[in-house]
Amino acid sequence: MTSFSIHGVGVSSGIAIGHAHLVSNALLEVVHYQLPKHLLEDEVKRFSSAIATVKHDLEQINSSLRKNTPAEISAFIGTHLMMLADKSLSEIPKDIIRNEQCNAEWAIKLQMDDIVEQFEQIEDEYLRERKQDVIQVVERVIKVLLGHPSQLSTEQQSNAQHEERKLILVAHDISPADAIQFKQHQFAAFITDVGGVTSHTAILARSLNIPSIVALQRARDLINDGELIIVDGGLGVVIVSPSKEILAEYKLRQEQWELEQQKLQRIKSTKAVTIDGTNIELFANIEVPEDIVAVKASGATGIGLYRTEFLFMNRREMPDEEEQFAAYKSVAEAMKGATVIIRTLDLGADKQMNPDTIVTCANPALGLRAIRYCLSEPLIFHTQLRALLRASHFGNIKILVPMLSTLSELRQTKLFLERAKASLRKQNIPFNEHIALGGMIEIPAAAINADAFAKELDFLSIGTNDLIQYTLAIDRTDDTVAHLYNPLHPSVLKLILMTIKAGDKLGKSVSVCGEMAGDAKLTKLLIGMGLRQLSMHPSHILSVKQQILHSQINELSANARKVLTHTDIEKIEPLVAKFNLT
């Protein structure tokens, strides 16, 4: 087959060579076609076979669950198995195939639509939402019928992780909820048709430390399942069916890249100190407690951002206080007294609790999210604050509040915190009475008013992903405007500098926990601007540390001042590139 390349936006560096594994939204791919009568019974058998395959897959998953797996997971699989056995899904579609002379995919989709409509009539909200289970079961069956089941084939499963390392996920889009599930796998890379460089899916791609590209437009249509492809995350290029010469060249590049990564391991235990003796704290960002393994392996000195919303995702019921407490406590204890900054719930925008939830807000990034959501849901917020406070007794936990825009939001948050403390005192439950409270500066209004926030907070953390999005009016999940997203925009740099100066003036620590912190090309600029704390995905810590070890503060400060005098991105970018060569 003729080789060709597709260009997108690289969101995680490295080179991967492997076979495409197409991940699809099966329901969108169903088409209707009629069959001659003599083929109808074969179609019925094809349908029955698909039902049997999905049943076998679910039973295998259920039997392989670990002992410590939450009970809800087993119950979830059990529910799907029951639905699969129900005649409304396993038998009625056969009648539809025979009566309407249609394909199996169309028959089960018609039956699903009918069942979902019946669920819609139910008044009880909990029961009404069970329609999502029906949709998920049907999608599994349709994926098998279409020839790309959601689970790996039996042959691939037998080779387990060894085979996964050779697979490259190809999808139209991957939600953050889907991406978080990939942490338990070892895929070589993933690529998507849509997405922005700092969408939460892209952020998770970087946390997986595998080459990833978004905004490829039509990769899902152009690439066949099982086709050999090369993913160059640094250049944002996918090469499909490479020639022998290109394949050989990329294998060499892959070896060189892996060698560079191995060399970085030499500085793992070295402290992040500049040539002239200035210490820089390098913290790690995590999504789930299991990420602690990567944190320890990276040599990070603490956790600068624990995104708690991922504890709430891929489920329909909120985690209760005990479940949250156990998660936060496990992280605090594992870090053995090192700083653990835990961000309160930041649901909204592209991070929804239930992956099936439809966001009806026209501009979700500007809607009810983060602290706005928490203040509007007092019971949920109170439960999380109690769990956080209880966990603070077991380690050095600090609380971080996302998306603050007004002082009134901060003061309401403080009241909630005091109420949670009072409720624990009443029950004689121990916690850190003097737990530090920080705020994320990720809205321009907060950066401009950083002095006022710094007076009422213990520390500030700059969330550059949203700060850039809101400053430049660019939806960071939208691939059509991805090229306009630029962390070196002079307005963005000025807002960062304003925040740093506000912290310095009042003696409050300021860190960056957005994607800028993990970009080694920006390390010298950020330190030159006055930052002494950076928090990033564990996979980026060593490359950032390498920049620090070869830097001198006086030189960096002078270079940063030069950058900040310019108002034109076209002059700023080459200057920053030049400083990185020194």
pLDDT tens-place string over residues 525-556: 999 999 999 999 898 999 999 999 999 999 99
Q: Of all residues in the chain, what percent carry a pLDDT higher than 90? A: 59
Question: Given a cut of 70, is residue 418 above it in pLDDT?
Answer: yes
Q: What is the mean pLDDT of residues 163-168?
A: 68
Query: Where are the chain's structural domains?
Result: 4-22+162-262, 26-146, 268-579
Tokens of 177: 């909820």
User: What is the three-class DSSP state of 2?
Assistant: coil
Per CATH, the number for 268-579 is 3.20.20.60
- At 64-113, the pLDDT tens digits run 766 655 555 566 678 888 888 899 999 999 999 999 999 999 999 999 98
**Mean pLDDT across the chain, nearest whole number?**
86
User: How many angstroms separate the Cα of 459 from the Cα of each of 405, 408, 411, 456?
Assistant: 16, 18, 15, 9
Rounded mean pLDDT, 379-386: 97
Question: What share of the chain in percent tops pLDDT 70?
Answer: 84
Residue 16 host element (H or E): strand 15-23
* 3-class DSSP state of 403: coil
Return the pLDDT at 156.
39
CA angle 28, 29, 35 (to 5 degrees): 130
3-state secondary structure of 191: strand
| Superfamily of 4-22+162-262 according to CATH | Phosphohistidine domain (3.50.30.10)
* pTM over the 0.75 mark: no
Domain 26-146 CATH (choose: 3.40.50.10800, 1.10.274.10, 3.40.1280.10, 3.40.50.360): 1.10.274.10
CA distances (Å), 260 to each of 36, 97, 265, 563, 571, in order? Answer: 60, 57, 9, 29, 30
pLDDT tens-digit readout, 419-452: 999 999 999 999 999 999 999 999 999 999 999 9
Please tell me whether residue 462 adopts helix, strand or coil conformation: strand
For tokens 């060189």, the residue is 256
Cα of first residue to Cα of last residue in the chain, in angstroms, is 46
Residue 568 CB neighbours (<10 A): 8
Q: Which residue has the tokens 């169309």?
A: 106
Helix 71-85 and helix 131-146, axial crossing angle in degrees, nearest 10: 70
Residue range 317-330: mean pLDDT, rounded: 94
Above 80 in pLDDT, residue 184? Answer: no
For residues 316 and 319, what is the distance between their CA atoms, to the nearest angstrom? 9
β-bridge mates for residue 400, sequence order: 343, 438
- Specify the 3-state DSSP secondary structure of 396: strand
- What is the secondary structure of 115-148 as a DSSP string? HHHHHHT-S-HHHHTTHHHHHHHHHHHHHHHHT-
Tokens at residue 371, please?
Answer: 């602290």
Could you list the active site residues? 200, 513
